[in-house]
Structure 1
Amino acid sequence: MSNIRITKQFNFETGHALYGYDGKCKNVHGHSYKLSVTVIGKPIKDTSNVKYGMVIDFGDLKKIVKEQIVDVFDHATVFNKNTPHIELAHELKSRGHDVILVDYQPTSENMVIDFSNKIKNLLPNNIKLHSLRLQETETSFAEWFASDNE
């Protein structure tokens, strides 16, 4: 049977700042991110399985991505914990803000790598993460492909 790719899209709002950057993005700002998650696998052949004909139930994929990424990053601010932004992060946290501290510069490129690691480890064994596309603005996005990272 053929391998099939299926994609589920997600939206979330996240703030960040790029410490040491030489442009406007050094300032705290936010984006309306669009994340496309594509997995690949063979549709279920067992006619007695309630998910017959599916590669993975879109609801199951949604649960993984929502718990690992959307619910965590939505309306949070992301800072690299190894920069002076840590002081701002602590101040915001003390005032009840959602802050995520990561060990990388929170660019779309690095975020999509982080997201790939969070997702691929939770997929069923017969399903593989094929690609991610993280759109930061209407015209700018980063993509991760499993085939580029084997």
Structure 2
Amino acid sequence: MKLIGQVSRTFSRLVDTPLRELGLSVGQLPVLVTLKNVGAISQGELARIARVEQPSMAQLLSRMERDELVQRVLDPADGRSRLISLSAQATRQLPKAKRVMDQTCSQALDGLSADEQALLHELLLKVDANLNRALEQMQKGSK
């Protein structure tokens, strides 16, 4: 697990500068990608999908709104509520950010065969599922 953390930190360091040049950060990507894929959603639902605690999500969204990456729009189903959606600026920057991430992934996986890449992916999915089960059990135990 220590190695997974190390790999993640190194990857983040490599993409940090090119993403910052686009006005983005690694920590914003789960939110931006979720909004791109799902569309406008509530802050609570966004936090759940992106696996971010509600207070952290509120702070992150405030900064992203300030930086004009997201916007709050009226919920058509409930005029008293607002939904979070991508801004035009974020929509323009996401393809560039994807290129940065894809290029860095290619560097990270250089020298691995397609079979090795598939196996790595499969194994990481299992580790992620195990950790999510443990997290769910922990959360159930604290209620």
Q: TM-score, normalised by structure 1?
A: 0.22
- The structure where helix makes up a greater share of residues is 2
Higher RCO, 1 or 2 (CA under 8 Å, sep at least 6)? 1
